Amino acid sequence: MSLNPQSHGAQGAPALAPESLPMRRESPWQQGLREFLRSRSAVLGLVVLVVLIAAALAAPWITPQNPYDLMQLDVMDARLAPATVNGLGTYTYWLGTDGQGRDLLSGIIYGLRISLGVGVGSALIAGMLGTVLGLVAAYAGGRVDAFIMRLVDLLLSFPSILVALMILAYVGKGIGNVVLTLVVLEWAYFARTARAQALVESRREYVEAARCQAIPDWRIVLGHILPNCLPPLIVVGSLQVARAITLEATLSFLGLGVPITEPSLGLLIANGYQTMLSGEYWISLYPGLALLVTVVAINLVGDRLRDVFNPRLQK
């Protein structure tokens, strides 16, 4: 009896139909990406956020004016209405100008660089610091855990704006000081989240197996526990970026944030709020809308990430 090569494998085994082949299993990150893309609002927020970041990075090439260069400002062009041509007739102020003759469109795009840079930078530094302290508190336990958590509780018990005003009143204004202030305010959220997740992971079987193999504690924490704590920390980080941008704008609006020569969105809003009722609405309106769109886009992405990494919150 002859064998049919089309119905048997090379070693005489029956050939499997394509439908019966085992499907490749998706990784948790691929599943998360697929779930994230199901939300139209989150995808829209991500697209808007990418556009804003790209515009901020390309600010020197897409803006007609460098609002931080005092030599390019003309006080004769101060408080011009939107769609007004500048005094030299070289370009148009599509969003008008503020009281210093600064092109608002250029100021908003350059302001996004500061707001996004301060928000992302402070969240990254606070995330690394808070995550390390949270992991140490969970793994060490005892007095170390009690000391770190009491420090977290003490910091979270005060209003953020009050603590920020106290710090900046002492160290002075400046981008570096604002980032330092935001790090002091944000690390506690990461520490509390990392500790809670690490306590759950430290009781799992793979951690016990690693301890039985005499693996050093630092390798267990960094190589086994930390990767499983990343999803909730990513969610906290995305929301803290929006919170940092809002707090930085508030501090700049109050005059304790970035210097006046390098305005962020909050300082641009402060430049025109006193003249809003006199008809010069555009000076504060357009920077305020840019800040609103940025924060809403980040929150849409952060809320969807929270739902993806915690399916119990999905409706």
19 within a domain of the structure (yes/no): no
Residues spanned by the domain of 263: 56-67+91-309
For residue 84, which phi and psi values (nearest 5 degrees)? Answer: -100, 140
Q: How many CA atoms lie less than 13 Å away from 153 in the CB half-sphere?
A: 6
50 within a domain of the structure (yes/no): no
CA 210 – CA 201 distance, rounded (Å)? 12
58-78 per-position pLDDT tens digit:
999 999 999 888 888 888 888
127 within a domain of the structure (yes/no): yes
117 within a domain of the structure (yes/no): yes
92 three-class SS: strand
Would you say 63 and 109 are in contact if contact means Cβ atoms under 8 Å apart? Answer: yes
| pLDDT tens for the 315 residues of the chain, in order | 444 545 444 455 555 555 544 556 666 667 778 888 888 999 999 999 999 999 999 999 999 999 888 888 888 888 999 999 988 788 889 999 998 889 999 999 999 999 999 999 999 999 999 999 999 998 888 899 999 999 999 999 999 999 999 999 899 888 999 999 999 999 999 999 999 988 888 777 777 787 777 777 778 787 778 888 888 899 899 999 999 999 999 999 988 888 888 888 999 999 888 877 788 889 999 999 999 999 999 999 999 888 887 655 544
Which pTM was predicted?
0.84
Look at residues 282, 293, 205 and name the one whose alpha carbon lies nearest to residue 242.
293
Would you say 246 and 160 are in contact if contact means Cβ atoms under 8 Å apart? Answer: no
- Structure tokens belonging to residue 124: 């990254």
131 within a domain of the structure (yes/no): yes
What does the DSSP 8-state code read for residue 24? Answer: P
Position 201: which residue type?
A: E
CA 299 – CA 102 distance, rounded (Å)? 30
Cα separation values, 278 from 29, 265, 282, Å:
53, 21, 11
Q: In the prediction, which pLDDT does 23 show?
A: 56
176 within a domain of the structure (yes/no): yes
153 within a domain of the structure (yes/no): yes
Q: What is the CATH number of the domain that holds 135?
A: 1.10.3720.10
79 within a domain of the structure (yes/no): no
Look at residues 272, 283, 261, 287 and name the one whose alpha carbon lies nearest to residue 70.
261
253-307 per-position pLDDT tens digit:
988 888 888 888 999 999 888 877 788 889 999 999 999 999 999 999 999 888 8
List Cβ neighbours of 72 (8 Å cut-off, separation of 6 or more): 65, 66
Domain count, the chain: 1
